[in-house]
Structure 1
Amino acid sequence: MNGLDDTLNLPREKVSQRIALLRGTGTLSGLKWRENLLAYVFLGPSLILFGIFFFYPMIQSVYLSLHSTDLTGRVNGFVGLDNFIYLVKNDFFLHGLKITLYFALLTVPTSILVALLLAALSNGKRKGLTLFQFAYSLPVVLSVGSSSVIWMFLFHPSLGMFNYFLSLLHMSPINWLVDPKWALLSVSLMTVWMNLGFNYIILSSGLRGIPDEIRESAAIDGAGPLRLFVRILLPLLSPTLFFLVIVSIISSFQAFGQINILTHGGPMNSTNVLVFSIYQEAFENFRFGTGSAQALVLFIIIIILTLVQFKWAEKKVHYQ
Structure 2
Amino acid sequence: MMFANQPQRWRLWKKTLNARTALLYLLPSIILFTVFVFYPMFRTIYLSFFLTDQQGTASLFVGFENYIDLWELESFRKSLKSTLFFVLLTVPVGVILALFFALLANEKIRGIGFFRTIYSSTMGISVAASSVVWLFLFHPSTGVFNRILSLFGMKEVMWLLDPNWALISVSISTIWLNLGFSFLILLGGLQHIDEYLYESAKIDGAGYWYQLRRITIPMLSPTLFFITTISLINAFQTFGQIDILTKGGPSEATNLIVYAIYREAFVNYQFGTASAQAVVLFLFILIVTIFQFKLGEKKVHYQ
Task: Say yes or no: TM over 0.5.
Answer: yes
Q: Deviations over 1:101-133 (max 9, x none)?
A: 000000000000001011111113321101110
Question: Which residues of 2 match residues 79-94 of structure 1 at below 5 A?
Answer: 79-94=62-77
Question: Which residues of 2 match residues 244-255 of structure 1 at below 5 A?
Answer: 244-255=227-238
Of 54, 65, 69, 2:37 maps to 54
Q: Which residue of 2 aligns with 1:41?
A: 24
Matched, 1:219 2:234: no
Runs of 5+ consecutive residues of structure 1 not aligned to the other structure: 1-22
Q: CA deviation at 1:93?
A: 0.8
Q: Which residue of 2 aligns with 1:114?
A: 97
Q: CA deviation at 1:72?
A: 4.0
Q: Which residue of 2 aligns with 1:190?
A: 173
Distance in 1 between residues matched to 2:167 and 2:77, nearest whole Å: 17
Q: CA deviation at 1:36?
A: 0.9
Q: For 1:185, give the aligned amino acid.
A: I
Q: For 1:262, give the aligned amino acid.
A: L
Q: For 1:255, give the aligned amino acid.
A: T
Q: For 2:40, give the aligned amino acid.
A: P
Distance in 2 between residues matched to 1:195 and 1:28, nearest whole Å: 51
Q: CA deviation at 1:75?
A: 2.1
Q: CA deviation at 1:25?
A: 9.4
Distance in 1 between residues matched to 2:223 and 2:208, nearest whole Å: 20
Q: Deviations over 1:133-177 (max 9, x none)?
A: 000000011010011001001101111111111111111111100
Of 204, 207, 230, 2:213 maps to 230
Distance in 2 between residues matched to 1:53 and 1:46, nearest whole Å: 10
Matched, 1:287 2:283: no
Question: Which residues of 2 match residues 154-233 of structure 1 at below 5 A?
Answer: 154-233=137-216
What SS is found at the alignment partner of 1:271?
A: coil
Matched, 1:316 2:290: no
Distance in 2 between residues matched to 1:202 and 1:98, nearest whole Å: 30
Distance in 2 between residues matched to 1:110 and 1:97, nearest whole Å: 20
Q: For 2:51, give the aligned amino acid.
A: S
Q: CA deviation at 1:73?
A: 3.0
Q: For 1:62, give the aligned amino acid.
A: I
**Structure label with greater radius of gyration:** 1
Distance in 2 between residues matched to 1:245 and 1:218, nearest whole Å: 28
Distance in 2 between residues matched to 1:33 and 1:303, nearest whole Å: 36
Q: Is the 8 A contact 1:25 1:31 kept in 2?
A: no
Q: Which residue of 1 aligns with 2:3?
A: none
| 4+ aligned runs moved over 6 Å, structure 1 | none
What SS is found at the alignment partner of 1:237?
A: helix
What SS is found at the alignment partner of 2:59?
A: strand
What SS is found at the alignment partner of 2:278?
A: helix
Q: Which residue of 1 aligns with 2:280?
A: 297
Distance in 2 between residues matched to 1:162 and 1:223, nearest whole Å: 42
Q: Deviations over 1:63-92 (max 9, x none)?
A: 110110124433221111110011121111
What SS is found at the alignment partner of 1:319?
A: coil
Number of equivalent positions: 300
Question: Which residues of 2 match residues 60-75 of structure 1 at below 5 A?
Answer: 60-75=43-58
Q: Percent identity?
A: 50
Of 54, 67, 79, 1:96 maps to 79
Q: CA deviation at 1:253?
A: 0.3
Q: For 1:207, give the aligned amino acid.
A: L
